[in-house]
Amino acid sequence: MVGARVAVVATVATVLTVSSFVTVTAVPAGGGVALSTTARSTYYGVPLGGKCGEYGQTCRSPGKCEHGTCKTESPVGGPCGGSTNAYCKDDEAKCTDGRCTMESPLGGKCGGDSGYTCVDGTDCQDGMCQTGSPVGGPCGGSTNAYCTDEGATCTDGRCTKESPLGGECGADSGYTCVDGTDCQDGMCQKGSPVGGPCGGSTDAYCKDEGATCTDGRCTMESPLGGECGGDSGYTCSAGTECKNNLCQEESAAGGPCGGSTNAFCADGTRCESGKCAKESPVGGPCGGYTRTVCVKGSECQYNVCRRTY
């Protein structure tokens, strides 16, 4: 018959491991040589998810005892809670929907899987917490601001946006005019030629240098021999008058007229053969030394203007 003796030699407890040595001696029936074996077992600590702390149990590395349960540390953006056996290690982080999240200040990182959310008054734009800026406001660079208006873009550090015909523009407004229009007097307007509409609800301005908007039409002074009259928009300069759609100067009796002279005959005279001749009434002298011509409806007969029938 075999007898057995079991003796606990030593028990050692530490923070991380507990070791025990057990010696077992077996003696054969009827005597003889005793056979002895020694076995060693090692305790590595409580695994993740296990209970700890209350009775001195320690967590298996890299676990830490968090509220009585062995868990691992998780950074901002990492998993937490539930079956993850992980907790958020950063003081200001919190576990939200299974992920460690933390508020990020103006200019701080955000978005994606970072776990960082922006503080009130800021939005996550291009991975950074920024403030919204209206058209005309600062943006980009060190401003930590982005353009909030739909269609606006950040140009040279300022939020800009195209403005339609009749829309606001210029100065520090940030509005630029669409193609085919120009910014005039703080409003996007189309250019109108001399004779074209302008002012009021037309959203048009006079584009020709020297032209002015007069009674809703672009007008401009025309020089001697220049265009005038009708719907042309051209008016004659001082000292000239619009005759036959050309700006001409008045010529007295005996003066030049017609052709390239840009001159017209004064009242009571008529242009004959390039010179202004004085008109003579019916019964008046004509021809010869008189240098007169008969009024229309009469002719010179024997140096006297006689009515024609």
Residue whose entry in the numeric block shows the structure tokens 């407890």 = 13
**Average pLDDT, rounded, for the chain:** 87
By C-alpha distance, which of 183, 215, 182, 178 is closest to 199?
215
Measured at the CA of 235, the angle between CA 232 and CA 238, to 5 degrees, comes to: 165
- The pLDDT of residue 7: 31
Would strands 35-43 and 298-301 be described as parallel, antiparallel, or unpaired? unpaired
In sequence order, what are the residues at sequence separation of 6 or more whose Cβ sits closer than 8 angstroms to the Cβ of residue 83? none
Cis peptide preceding 62, ω within 30 of 0: yes
Predicted model pTM = 0.60
- The pLDDT of residue 267: 92
What is the per-residue DSSP string for 183-227? EETTEEEEEE-TTSB-SGGG-EEE-STT-EEETTEEEEEE-TT-B
The residues with which 307 forms a beta bridge, in sequence order, are 298
- The pLDDT of residue 30: 44
- The pLDDT of residue 82: 87
- The pLDDT of residue 40: 58
Task: Give, rounded to a whole angstrom, the gap between the first and last alpha carbons of the chain.
Answer: 176
For 151, phi and psi rounded to 5 degrees? 90, -10
For 303, phi and psi rounded to 5 degrees? 65, 20
- The pLDDT of residue 16: 39
The residue type of 247 is C
By C-alpha distance, which of 190, 191, 193, 202 is closest to 233?
193
Question: What is the Cα–Cα distance from 97 to 137, expressed in whole angstroms?
Answer: 37
- The pLDDT of residue 38: 53
89-111 pLDDT, tens digit per residue, is 999 999 999 999 999 999 999 99
Contact (Cβ atoms closer than 8 angstroms) between residue 110 and residue 124: yes
In a structure prediction context, what are the per-residue pLDDT tens digits for the chain, which is 309 residues long? 333 333 322 222 333 344 444 444 444 444 444 445 455 556 678 999 999 987 778 999 889 998 899 999 999 999 999 899 999 999 999 999 999 999 999 999 999 999 999 999 999 999 999 999 999 999 999 999 999 999 999 999 999 999 999 999 998 999 999 999 999 999 999 999 999 999 999 999 999 999 999 999 999 999 999 999 999 999 999 999 999 999 999 999 989 999 999 999 999 999 988 999 999 999 999 988 888 999 999 999 999 999 997
Residue whose entry in the numeric block shows the structure tokens 């000292």 = 239
Contact (Cβ atoms closer than 8 angstroms) between residue 181 and residue 173: no
| Distance (Å) of CA 222 to CA 153, 186, 209, 211, 214 | 45, 30, 13, 10, 15
Per-domain boundaries in the chain: 105-152, 164-251, 253-258+265-309
- The pLDDT of residue 116: 97
- The pLDDT of residue 56: 77
